[in-house]
Amino acid sequence: MADTEKVSFNVSVVDLGKIDVLVEQGHYASRTDFLVAAVRTQLNTHTVTMQELFLRQSPLVGASIYSRKTLEKLVAKGKQMDVNVVGLCMFTKDVTPDLALAAVRSLKVRGSLRASAEVKEALRKRME
């Protein structure tokens, strides 16, 4: 499982040219290195905002993987969970839509949700 996600976006030809100049001058190894550095710089400028969010909402930061076995144990206890993830939230391939609905009361994912199309559709109304 990769710990990165591909993101694409449009940038003006002038900005792209400026990036290329910085790469040519050796400030960055590639366009990608420049863009990754730019993202990290912006995220660092919002550190306080992120800390406040994490204190208020207590999300799991990183990767959270839910298997059929884990969800069946939860449902057998008569419980449901509120999933709040910053990063990766994954429901394994053996999780059925009915099981996901029985186990998940609410779902909030900032990052990437990986699940079958059927599980995603079933949980759509529970997503915040």
| pLDDT 10s digits, 36-70 | 999 999 999 998 887 877 767 678 888 899 999 99
For the cut 70, the answer to whether the pLDDT of residue 18 exceeds it is yes
**Tens digit of each residue's pLDDT (9 = 90 or more) over 83-95:** 999 999 999 999 9
- CA atoms 105, 108, 111, 117: torsion sign: positive
Contacts for 94 with CB less than 8 Å, ≥ 6 apart: 67, 68
